[in-house]
Amino acid sequence: MNKKKIAAIMSAVNSYIKAGQECAAAPMLPTPPSIWGADGRRQMMSMRNLWQMRIIKKAG
């Protein structure tokens, strides 16, 4: 292979590795909680509570 091609490939690989290390070192910012997700969880808990109340009334 041509020495220029090998040098270009090595440079590209090194810059790729360096970019990956910089991304890994960057702090991860937490995502804000979703209003839709919170409402969905509240709805599911409400339905579970209703089912539990029905089961308790039938069993008691």
Q: Please give the tally of structural domains in the chain.
A: 1
Q: Is a pLDDT exceeding 70 seen at residue 25?
A: no
Model pLDDT for residues 27-55, shown as the tens digit of each residue: 777 878 899 999 999 999 999 998 888 87
Q: What is the reported pLDDT for 46?
A: 93
Mean pLDDT of the chain: 85
Q: What is the reported pLDDT for 33?
A: 84
The domain in which residue 53 lies consists of: 3-59
Rounded to 5°, angle at Cα 18 from 12 and 20: 105
Provide the CA 41 distance to its chain's centre, in angstroms. 18
Q: What is the reported pLDDT for 48?
A: 92
Q: How far lies 60's CA from each of 50, 52, 55, 57, in Å?
A: 15, 12, 9, 5
The model's pTM is: 0.41
